[in-house]
């Protein structure tokens, strides 16, 4: 079979899930990203994997039916959420209807990220908030189909490629399914995440490299702590000895590498499902610079952009509208303020160097800091510009 080329494969696992002979497995490469591998002795060349692949079957771009800036009225919920808390309101509504919600959570066994289900508030709390690591969907798509066929309402949340994968896997629309995608910047390497955690664990254990992250770091990890507000967030880790790692987005090495495109998946730099191509009913993200358009919506606790893409999505959003403050916006403003909704970023020019050295056990923090250091000529140029501005007031 001809699966997507490596630079286009998103690792969505649609091919793995749809294979009737279990001939496909998802295996990590030397960068830590999962890719499909075919056991030719089991493959019957049915073509289902090719038809399920979002990269091989790109859809036309769409425009939303409606666009909103929105935030939950519950400020405590917003503080626990990455932006405005809208996902939790939608998920609670599905659960209150007797349904089930699927989303990404931190796995307790090794602190990796995986998809799992929630049927109550405690389970839902683990799905809340961004996880800046590619999620292992495992057998989630099959589980979703089982629940749908049993007549239950299902909310599936994930990245655009995961939503597209689920829809291709199901191969038909279900009235009892609502798909919610996040506006996705990119998927960072699970290997980079592992090396970062090992560094933090070793530092907590006073330099003992043998310290296992899952043994000394609690599962309650936040990639978007809002101690100083929504716009300048923190990554936080809690250690079993009571200590805490808390570092803001401009200083934390993992967030710096992620935001600089240093170790994101190759396909994220040529994403085939941006521009609302996934088929999601609702798209959620951060409404960055919302104060420029709607000053009253910005209290620096978090404001969501909500793109309503289908009538089904509109119906669910209407049910939670009384729990939100919201104002109508337009798609042009979202493309301006959150351009990853339609555009992929270029990889960092030193991406290959990162993976070369991190595999050789180079210190994670030092590696990221050195690779992201601006060249001397740029630093000198910035210094000269500041000096000229200070001297002449321009």
Domain housing 79: 66-187+263-341
Give the dihedral sign, CA 206/211/215/218.
Answer: positive
Quote the pLDDT of residue 373: 93
**H/E run at residue 109:** none
- Give the DSSP per-residue string, 52-103: H-TTTSPPPP---SEEEEEEES-HHHHHHSSSSSHHHHHHHHHHHTT-EEEE
pTM of the model: 0.93
Does residue 384 sit within a domain? no
Beta pairing, strands 154-158 & 177-182: parallel
Does residue 297 sit within a domain? yes
Residue 31 pLDDT exceeds 90: yes
Does residue 241 sit within a domain? no
Give the integer Cα–Cα distance in Å for 212 and 291.
43
Does residue 248 sit within a domain? no
pLDDT band at 114 (very low <50, low <70, confident <90, very high): very high
Q: Per residue in 310-366, pLDDT tens?
A: 999 999 999 999 999 999 999 999 999 999 999 999 999 999 999 999 988 789 999
Does residue 159 sit within a domain? yes
Q: Per residue in 271-309, pLDDT tens?
A: 999 999 999 999 999 999 999 999 999 999 999 999 999
Does residue 272 sit within a domain? yes
Domains held by the chain: number: 1
Does residue 389 sit within a domain? no
């Amino acid at each position: 079979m001809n699966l997507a080329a490596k630079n286009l494969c998103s690792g969505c696992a649609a091919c793995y899930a749809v294979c009737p002979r279990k001939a496909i497995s998802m295996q990590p490469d030397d960068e830590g990203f999962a890719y499909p591998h075919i056991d030719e002795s089991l493959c019957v060349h049915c073509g289902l994997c090719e038809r399920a692949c979002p990269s091989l079957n790109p859809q036309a771009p769409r425009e939303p039916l409606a666009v909103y800036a929105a935030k939950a009225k519950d400020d405590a919920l917003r503080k626990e959420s990455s932006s405005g808390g809208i996902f939790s309101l939608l998920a609670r509504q599905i659960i209150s209807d007797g349904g089930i919600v699927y989303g990404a959570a931190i796995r307790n066994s090794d602190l990796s990220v995986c998809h799992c289900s929630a049927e109550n508030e405690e389970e839902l709390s683990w799905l809340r908030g961004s996880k800046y690591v590619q999620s292992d969907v495992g057998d989630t798509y099959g589980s979703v189909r089982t629940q749908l066929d049993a007549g239950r309402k299902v909310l599936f949340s994930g990245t655009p490629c995961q939503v597209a994968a689920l829809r291709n896997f199901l191969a038909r629309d279900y009235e009892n399914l609502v798909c919610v995608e996040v506006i996705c910047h990119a998927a960072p390497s699970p290997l980079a995440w592992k090396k970062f955690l090992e560094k933090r664990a070793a530092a907590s254990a006073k330099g003992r490299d043998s310290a296992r992250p899952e043994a000394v770091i609690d599962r309650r990890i936040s990639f978007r702590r809002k101690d100083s507000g929504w716009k300048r967030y923190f990554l936080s880790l809690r250690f079993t000895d009571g200590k805490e790692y808390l570092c803001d987005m401009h200083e934390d090495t993992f967030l710096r590498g992620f935001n600089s495109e240093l170790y994101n998946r190759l396909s994220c730099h040529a994403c085939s499902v941006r521009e609302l191509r996934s088929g999601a009913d609702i798209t959620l993200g951060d409404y960055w610079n919302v104060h420029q358009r709607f000053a009253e919506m910005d209290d620096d606790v978090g404001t969501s952009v909500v793109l309503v893409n289908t009538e089904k999505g509109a119906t669910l959003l209407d049910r939670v509208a009384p729990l939100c403050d919201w104002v109508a916006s337009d798609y042009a403003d979202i493309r301006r303020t959150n351009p990853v909704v339609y555009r992929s970023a270029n990889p960092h020019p030193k991406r290959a160097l990162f993976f070369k050295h991190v595999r050789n056990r180079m210190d994670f923090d030092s590696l990221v800091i050195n690779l992201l250091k601006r060249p001397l000529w740029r630093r000198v140029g910035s210094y000269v510009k500041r000096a000229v501005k200070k001297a002449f007031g321009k």
